[in-house]
Structure 1
């Protein structure tokens, strides 16, 4: 059997893309599978797709190289897609022609459309010898009425319709009944994560999804704010990008949760971040399914979720693997969080149940349900059309697509595990090694100064049953004596000298949470080391190495309406002595220093109050940046930069967004610019991890 999926843009990112890829790879174990993307606007897909699944596009609109940019018909509207359909503006006469031509000539046995606009094409234009199946990923009543009316007119030519929940299947049949065409609820699939499940011990609440009003992150932040004082050692982490990020960040600041509620930005693959948590939270006002619930459960997390239409109540078993709370109720979300945060045994039991129960969403399980759907559709077609030829029952004998080796080393993912003692372990399943003899090698990222020599890593190779070669290597703590303080590309080098900067897979850095806690509780008197793997925006794997004989780590910033207090620990052979100074250094042409006492709590910890009045009065520009330093010994003028480096994630600057303190600009000694405006002083962590603040009157 050949199964063909028709999708809007497989080269982009989104929940539909993810679940279609999961299903396609699972089906590819026994059948020929292709994904046909109407549009292509990027060189590669954002999600990895097995080479067992054929991927092609109908309209190539890549910037600079797209063969169809400026093509005839591209600027003319579609005559098939209703104007009310969400993506109407993307379609054109050209795309209509390409889709129709494809469907009339396809050699597939089954064509599966993946959104209403494409399902209209599938129903109307797919050749009669092919089974026509429509996947509906949207909540049915969220589809505009005009589009549903067109569906009612055209969908009778389909053989089957699927929705992602049983509730939405019922809604479909009640509101848009299609005579003779069954509507079946089949959920999205989520593969078993590469990472080991959460053990429920790290005091982190995790939430993930696009920053959109429907996700109600404002409700989650307010609920966490209600329990934050009761559980001061817990942290909330929210992963995702979108237009709402600014509003959520402002709410975090308003509620005084900076450093407690972190906005982590987008992160892929997300499994490692779920596994860092002990509780997942979903506070959406509506969900068509709820992929994040299943993702979290597959990583062993119990979920506190709003009982919104229509997905969560079909995924969670309330009181067994999570808690369902009333939709839109901040108090109820806070109560759910409080119950799990305060009961280790309950949290562990629900996490284990979540791990077990979520196995029903494995792609192989969901693929079997689709195969039964196809077989039943073929039986109905054969009964109604004597000339119809059923698809061959002959199957391929191979593993699911996710287990197939990549075609080249350039598409191979490197998974990384960090432990809490400075070790890093790399694993990559690549193509048959043959004569290449690939080995891991670290190459210093270009920067100022002379580049250090490459560091080859001892690499082991093992052939897997799938034909792939598994490469493994490790970076030991002693390697930092060679790597020093810097950033390194994780590459693989062949016997012939070909070098490939590898793609980042899972970065499991949960052990660094424990390592940071231990370091802050007992600051080291010896040199400190840190290994942090991370992904560049282009997806390439990097390594941030830290080796410092003296280091001042910022452990907290307390901000009130009129003060900023800094806390930190000092890791070095020399101690923090009474009389230590906290030094601020102004950058730029008007360099200056201001210092205040750094109060030593003991030989390793200190705190200091930032001299807001003085830096405001001494300013010479409308915008100034002041770097933070510690002078630990009064008789020794050597200073150490105050940093925030020891985290399990790279973007400390984005996660810790501090509010500004307004200071009245009444008596500047040098300049008075817009004196009616307050001057705002805001601490921040630079991209390099060094702490500083800006002083600005705009």
Structure 2
């Protein structure tokens, strides 16, 4: 059977694209599967598809794409189908060219099943789809989130399809109530509920040892991250050692960043941007939070559970109540002004703690009750098995069979059966035997940081031809350091499992900088490019990799994926440095707290010194005491900076020094973040001197993650750092 999914734009990161990618991979184990993207806006899909899934785009919108004069004219004419769908006001609105090509595709496709994934495409499939293949629509939001006009048009389209699938039982009941069976022509449309598909994560489950609360979702008003920030401000008042990470991109980022500053949460909350895949990030969390105003699919809940993380969600339509068993694998709290407030959803609470207060109480409950939290984590792992691909794909196969049975039995196919695998599939299998999944494609390599900081590389056996292979590390951009060759073990012949190579921290010392990861035949000259698979860095949060002073070490490695998807390793070499953990900036003083790392003296009187490069004399000096654990705390008056400020702007290097000891650079280099500059936003202080002179003070990170201080003299009439022009 051939199954085709219709997506508006498969080259973005949305919940719909993620759901279709997972489901298509599940069905590809037994069927021929194709993803048809109406528009193409990037060179590759950000979400990797399974090997058996083919992807095609109908209209190429990349900057270098070519169109004739007629196509260019049709691209400028808006589409006409289902104008109520917000797709028409989105970044890639339908065009006359796109609609013409989609209609032609639906007329000529040889698929047995065509699945439309949003209202616009559902309406298009109902209008232009043929009756000799199954036409199925999917609801990736909820009925209540659609406008009345869109619901009316969507209802009319659904009545002309063979089936319509919701993600929750509650939404199914809503559609059944709105679309009585008698409204369907010849009673042909079948309504069904099949939950979101979530493959096994493949990552090492969360240990639960971190002090990280994690949330993920587009930064839009509906996701209610503002409510989460207000709640976390209450949490940090009781538990200042816990932090919050919010993953996603969207128009709300600037507003949320301002709110973080207003609440003084810059040391505890990070806006991380988008990550793909998310599973390695979920595995770093001790608690997952979904503060949304609506959660149609529950994909984030299931992904977090699959990584062994207990989930906390607001009681929003409709998925949380069908995924979470309160008190067993997570908690459900009331949303805005409703619910009982006790977190178990049973209606027997005391009525207090609505909104952000309920979220704060529930987070504190999980933080303060570690046995309960770990018990929920174990239950969450088991619960995630309900959403495994084999179970969800079986439900879809049952739906396909039921639809064919109700419509007279037998497969309604527009193509002849028994023709064997297609040419493209045979070509793909041949290419696999030659050592690459597709012509010119790089191999996918997984990398996991082990306890203690060593790295484990894993390569699926089907991506290698028989014989000995090596993982090769080369300094990027001509950097210093010898080439490192690590033998891949466990793959000597066809059919073997994944091959593994170990970069042991006790045996290797890499020069500081970036290192490219490649694959090569043992002893060979040529190497293959490598695509980042699962990159697991949760162990970099462990204290023994954080390099407390007693460890006497100062080197660690952070694997990461570049924007182009390549696997790269960043080596950091700090025999001794001062790791800054918190920054406070006021109008009168700045304060830095942190701990010494590497080979450093402890319980010693250090001096904090700031100097401007090029100046011979140290222009700022303050006492700094380091306790026996290596923790330091230094406060510097802004007045002293103003007195030595040389002019319009100055950048100060920061050091800790001790008599007879090393000079320590202050920075933020430990942990799992390969580049903190986009996620660490520091507050700005403004100092006004006795003579009316003004100075702005702010911290920033260099490329090497050293912390530097920027002072800027205010110029009347010009915007200053931290102000809008």
TM-score (norm 2): 0.86
Q: Distance in 2 between matches of 1:332 and 1:124?
A: 47
Q: Deviation of residue 129 (structure 1)?
A: 1.0
Alignment CA distance shift 1:463-1:16 (3 Å): farther
Alignment CA distance shift 1:149-1:509 (3 Å): same
Which residue of the other structure, out of 489, 499, 522, is the alignment partner of 1:471? 499
Unaligned runs of 5+ in 1: 668-674
Which residue of the other structure, out of 488, 507, 518, is the alignment partner of 1:459? 488
Q: Distance in 2 between matches of 1:648 and 1:149?
A: 49
Which residue of the other structure, out of 182, 190, 193, is the alignment partner of 1:182? 190
Q: Distance in 2 between matches of 1:351 and 1:602?
A: 36
SS in 2 for 1:378: helix
Q: Distance in 2 between matches of 1:388 and 1:408?
A: 34
Say whether the 8 Å CA contact 2:25–2:50 is kept in structure 1.
Answer: yes
Which residue of the other structure, out of 416, 426, 443, is the alignment partner of 1:412? 443
Greater CA drift, 409-418 or 155-164? 409-418
Alignment CA distance shift 1:340-1:464 (3 Å): farther
Q: Distance in 2 between matches of 1:260 and 1:486?
A: 28
Say whether the 8 Å CA contact 1:61–1:67 is kept in structure 2.
Answer: no
Aligned partner of 2:247 in structure 1 is 239
Alignment CA distance shift 1:574-1:315 (3 Å): closer
CA RMSD across the alignment:
3.0
Q: Deviation of residue 112 (structure 1)?
A: 0.7
Alignment CA distance shift 1:687-1:96 (3 Å): same
Aligned partner of 2:37 in structure 1 is 37
Do structure 1's residue 600 and structure 2's residue 646 form an aligned pair?
no
Show CA shifts across 1:456-483 (max 9, x none).
1222252798x576332111114543x1
Q: Deviation of residue 571 (structure 1)?
A: 4.1
Q: Distance in 1 between matches of 2:35 and 2:300?
A: 24
Q: Deviation of residue 367 (structure 1)?
A: 0.8
Aligned partner of 2:717 in structure 1 is none
Aligned partner of 1:672 in structure 2 is none
Alignment CA distance shift 1:517-1:661 (3 Å): farther
Unaligned runs of 5+ in 2: 337-354, 422-427, 715-719, 721-725
Say whether the 8 Å CA contact 1:78–1:95 is kept in structure 2.
Answer: no
Alignment CA distance shift 1:158-1:515 (3 Å): same
Q: Distance in 2 between matches of 1:518 and 1:344?
A: 22
Do structure 1's residue 199 and structure 2's residue 207 form an aligned pair?
yes
SS in 2 for 1:253: helix
Which residue of the other structure, out of 482, 500, 520, is the alignment partner of 1:493? 520
Aligned partner of 2:150 in structure 1 is 147
Aligned partner of 1:280 in structure 2 is 288
Which residue of the other structure, out of 698, 704, 720, is the alignment partner of 1:682? 698
Show CA shifts across 1:175-219 (max 9, x none).
455522222121111111011222323222111111111111121
Aligned partner of 1:671 in structure 2 is none
Which residue of the other structure, out of 440, 451, 456, is the alignment partner of 1:425? 456
SS in 1 for 2:677: helix
SS in 2 for 1:318: coil
SS in 2 for 1:152: helix
Aligned partner of 1:370 in structure 2 is 396
Aligned partner of 1:512 in structure 2 is 540
SS in 2 for 1:580: strand
Q: Distance in 2 between matches of 1:437 and 1:588?
A: 54
Greater CA drift, 297-306 or 120-129? 120-129
Say whether the 8 Å CA contact 1:662–1:681 is kept in structure 2.
Answer: yes
Aligned partner of 2:684 in structure 1 is 660
Do structure 1's residue 361 and structure 2's residue 364 form an aligned pair?
no
Q: Distance in 1 between matches of 2:96 and 2:458?
A: 47
Say whether the 8 Å CA contact 1:61–1:69 is kept in structure 2.
Answer: no
Say whether the 8 Å CA contact 1:31–1:396 is kept in structure 2.
Answer: no
Alignment of 1:284-303 (within 5 A): 284-303=292-311
Alignment CA distance shift 1:68-1:15 (3 Å): farther
Say whether the 8 Å CA contact 1:202–1:278 is kept in structure 2.
Answer: yes
TM-score (norm 1): 0.89
Q: Distance in 2 between matches of 1:99 and 1:603?
A: 66
Do structure 1's residue 540 and structure 2's residue 540 form an aligned pair?
no
Q: Distance in 1 between matches of 2:416 and 2:359?
A: 51
Q: How many residues align?
A: 675
Say whether the 8 Å CA contact 2:454–2:505 is kept in structure 1.
Answer: yes
SS in 2 for 1:653: coil
SS in 2 for 1:624: strand
Q: Distance in 1 between matches of 2:547 and 2:118?
A: 51
Q: Distance in 1 between matches of 2:594 and 2:119?
A: 56
Which residue of the other structure, out of 211, 223, 228, is the alignment partner of 2:231? 223
Aligned partner of 1:441 in structure 2 is 472
Q: Distance in 2 between matches of 1:298 and 1:150?
A: 37
Q: Deviation of residue 82 (structure 1)?
A: 2.6
Do structure 1's residue 695 and structure 2's residue 711 form an aligned pair?
yes
Q: Distance in 1 between matches of 2:39 and 2:414?
A: 31
Alignment of 1:23-102 (within 5 A): 23-67=23-67, 71-78=71-78, 80-88=80-88, 90-102=93-105
Show CA shifts across 1:230-258 (max 9, x none).
22332222222222222222222222222
Alignment CA distance shift 1:519-1:548 (3 Å): closer
Greater CA drift, 602-611 or 127-136? 602-611
Q: Deviation of residue 442 (structure 1)?
A: 0.8
Say whether the 8 Å CA contact 1:464–1:470 is kept in structure 2.
Answer: no
Do structure 1's residue 340 and structure 2's residue 371 form an aligned pair?
no
Q: Deviation of residue 412 (structure 1)?
A: 2.9
Q: Deviation of residue 494 (structure 1)?
A: 4.0
Alignment CA distance shift 1:395-1:425 (3 Å): farther
Q: Deviation of residue 369 (structure 1)?
A: 0.8
Q: Distance in 1 between matches of 2:284 and 2:710?
A: 33
Alignment CA distance shift 1:571-1:202 (3 Å): closer
Alignment CA distance shift 1:438-1:247 (3 Å): same
Q: Distance in 2 between matches of 1:443 and 1:426?
A: 15
Q: Distance in 2 between matches of 1:432 and 1:204?
A: 35
Which residue of the other structure, out of 244, 268, 274, is the alignment partner of 1:266? 274
Say whether the 8 Å CA contact 2:580–2:666 is kept in structure 1.
Answer: yes
Aligned partner of 2:664 in structure 1 is 640
Q: Deviation of residue 363 (structure 1)?
A: 1.5
Asked which structure has the greater RCO (Cα within 8 Å, sep 6+), the reply is 1
Aligned partner of 2:12 in structure 1 is 12
